[in-house]
Amino acid sequence: MNDTVKTTALFGLVAVLILGTGFFQSWNSALGILNMGLISAIMAMGVNLQWGFAGLFNVGIMGFVGLGGLATVLVSMPPVPAAWAAGGVSIWVALLVGALSLAAVILVRSRMPQGNLRAVVTWVLLIAGFAIYRSLFDPARDAIEKVNPALEGYLGGLGLPVLLAWPVGGLLAAGAAWIIGKTALGLRSDYLAIATLGIAEIIIAIMKNEDWLARGVKNVNGLPRPLPYEIDLQADPSFVEKAASFGLDQ
Amino acid sequence: MELLNTLVLLANFVFVPAIAYGSQLALGALGVTLIYGILRFSNFAHGDTMAFGTMVTVLVTWLLQSLGVSLGPLPTALLALPFGIAVTAALVLWTDRVVYKFYRKQKAKPVILVIVSMGVMFVMNGLVRFIIGPDDQRFADGERFIIGARDFKKMTGLDEGLAIKTSQGLTVVTAVLVVAALFWFLNHTRTGKSMRAYSDNEDLALLSGINPERVVAVTWILVAALATVAGVLYGLDKSFKPFTYFQLLLPIFASAIVGGLGSPLGAIAGGFVIAFSEVTITYAWKKAAGYILPESLAPDGLLQLLAVDYKFAVSFVILVVVLLFKPTGLFKGKSV
């Protein structure tokens, strides 16, 4: 049996199994399995490209997947004006201050000559930057999380079309990948595996705990879809008519 | 008085927990480092080996408890520990026979072995959840405290209490004994010396007539013992939950790498570095600062640098910093 026949037969077997689920159990679970299978296939293609072509073993796929999910919320959900009024600007100012102090530290370390003075300046910058960042960040975060905590309590997204979440999620994941690359590429392959696992766990920890960003472990309901919701389809007479003409009306 | 109170407060919430946690991490990291030194791969299944060993110990503890056997003030789990070690050693030796041996014969690249160990990890993970379930299990019994906070306050008349749990004292004592025994074994016995020779230079060791399969088997038995002891101590100190043990993998790897992979001394140092940074960074310093600083300077906030949920992130950040500035770790482990 050559490869083509074997591949076709295996795909055929999977198709038969999915159809079997549909006929003997329910079409909902059959579609669910198909859906999950396709999503896993896309993730597996990513691993395959990275490991197969580049030889880099990445254990942190779940972190990148999580960033894609985060991008969907940040891009497509409507903004929460009350939360923005409560502390939206100051939280971003706080993050900017944090980033600037890190940038200052990097600048100092590359420009100043090595010695005690550089160490002192580095530590002062780090500690002062962190203190200012926390003093700006904490009240803003608390204020945002107090806004209608049952449903919102987060800044919301940009209210843009959901399809934009794909490139944005890609950019976020690329940013994370750049950090991993900076630290762990060029080390042994085992270290890359541990580093990717670690960064993925950190990303997941941040997304779970920073409620102001995307509600942490609570659900964000009603993400917009590029296609209509089921309930809208059922309410749409022309769709129902078309479905009936296929003989699907039961 | 204020100073004494501060010291006791810090001892209670920082030093004692960090020393106990550090000993547990050190034992875990020793296992990882031994595998790395002798079998030359990073064993992702280590956390779940710990979970498996602890699970067996928990089951035997329950059996002993139902038979009415106890150690008085000490936890019954200590009696069950040898059974846990024996069963875990049998499991990892069997895993080595059916899984790792195949790849060792093929001289597979380390990264292949890493993936193989991830597969083993998932199997062990499933096995533990299948047998004991994914929930929290408490199996600590005996005396809860060596010194209770109230007794300490009464004894010294200070405002702050110092509580030392039996599990914490036990952790430190056991860790010291186990580490001493391990170092004696590695430095003074024939088998231990052959293990070190094999770790230093495989070809040379083979030429001088060391039986590699024997070295590998002894390593696995040692690793099973270390993993079970570390897991049981952690379980006695906190509680046993399979998922927590999987999460321990990250700080354990961080400890082993920070200390220098393949260096047993480094693994111990790394364990304490990671434990102390996790505890100090996630500790709320408000009360301690309140004692030391004058009243006008007393802080409003908790003075907690990071929320406790980020403690795994802390260990990883330390790992990255060490990888960037000192890639072989603090104790000159294997080069990367």
The answer to whether B165 and B145 are in contact (CB under 8 A) is: yes
**Facing B324 at nearest CB: one of A134, A183, A198:** A183
Q: Quote the minimal CA–CA distance from B107 to chain A in Å.
A: 16
pLDDT tens column, B7-66: 888 888 888 889 999 999 999 999 999 998 888 888 999 999 999 999 999 999 999 988
b/e per residue A100-116 (b: at least 16 CB within 10 A) = ebeebbeebeeeeeeee
Residue A111 has pLDDT above 60, yes or no: yes
Mean per-residue pLDDT, A99-115: 86
Contacts A205 to B, Cβ<8 Å? 309-310, 312-313
Q: Which chain A residues have a beta carbon less than 8 Å from that of B249? A: 197
For residue B335, name the pLDDT band (cuts at 50, 70, 90): very low
Instruction: Please provide the DSSP assignment of B43-86 as one string.
Output: -TTHHHHHHHHHHHHHHHHHHHHHHT--BTTB-THHHHHHHHHH
Mean pLDDT of B187-208: 87
Query: What does the alpha-carbon distance between residue B203 and residue B209 come to, in Å, rounded to a whole number?
Result: 10
Burial string for B176-193 (b: 16+ CB within 10 Å, else e) reads: eebbeebeeebeeeeebe
User: What sign does the dihedral B207-B208-B213-B215 (CA atoms) show?
Assistant: negative
User: In chain B, which residues have their Cβ closer than 8 Å to the Cβ of A134?
Assistant: 301
In the prediction, which pLDDT does A248 show?
66
Q: Stretch B150-177: mean pLDDT, rounded?
A: 84
Identify all chain B residues contacting A142, using CB atoms and an 8 Å cutoff. none
Mean pLDDT of the region A120-133: 87
Which of A176-185, B96-105, B167-176 shows the lowest per-residue confidence on average (mean pLDDT)? A176-185
Q: Kindly report the nearest CA distance between residue B300 and chain A, in angstroms.
A: 11
Are B37 and B334 contacting, i.e. CB atoms less than 8 angstroms apart?
yes
Cβ atoms of B29 and B268 closer than 8 Å = yes
What's the DSSP call for residue B137?
B
Interface test with B, best of A180, A194, A212 (most B CBs within 10 A): A194
Please report the pLDDT score of residue B224 as a whole number: 95
Taking each helix axis from N to C end, the angle separating B110-132 and A189-209, rounded to the nearest 10 degrees, works out to 40
Cβ-defined contact of B309 to A202 (cutoff 8 Å): no
Query: Do A205 and B312 lie within an 8 Å CB cutoff?
Result: yes
Buried b (16+ CB within 10 A) or exposed e, B70-93: eeeeebbbbbbbebbbbbbbebbe
B313 vs A134, A138, A205: nearest CB: A205
Assign B296 a pLDDT band (cuts: 50, 70, 90).
low
Using one digit for the tens of pLDDT, what is the confidence trace for A208-229?
888 888 888 888 887 888 888 8
Query: Rounded to the nearest 10 degrees, how much is the dihedral formed by the CA atoms of A200, A204, A207, A209?
Result: -130
A240, amino acid identity = V
CA separation for the pair B226, B234 (Å, rounded): 12
Q: How confident is the model at residue A62 (pLDDT cuts 50, 70, 90)?
A: confident
Q: Residue A198: closest CA among chain B residues belongs to which residue?
A: B316
Structure confidence at residue B246 (pLDDT): 87
B111 neighbourhood in chain A, CB within 8 Å:
57, 189-190, 193
Q: Chains A, B: CB contacts under 8 A, how many?
A: 65
Distance from CA of B318 to the nearest CA of A (A): 11
Q: Which of B32, B35, B42, B111 to mutate to test the interface with A (most CBs of A within 10 A)?
A: B111
Rg (C-alpha) for chain B, rounded Å, is 21
What mean pLDDT value characterizes chain A? 85
Q: How many residues does chain B have?
A: 336
The verdict on a CB contact (< 8 Å) between A202 and B111 is no
Q: If pLDDT is split at 50, 70 and 90, which confidence band does A189 have?
A: low
> Is A54 a residue whose pLDDT tops 50?
yes
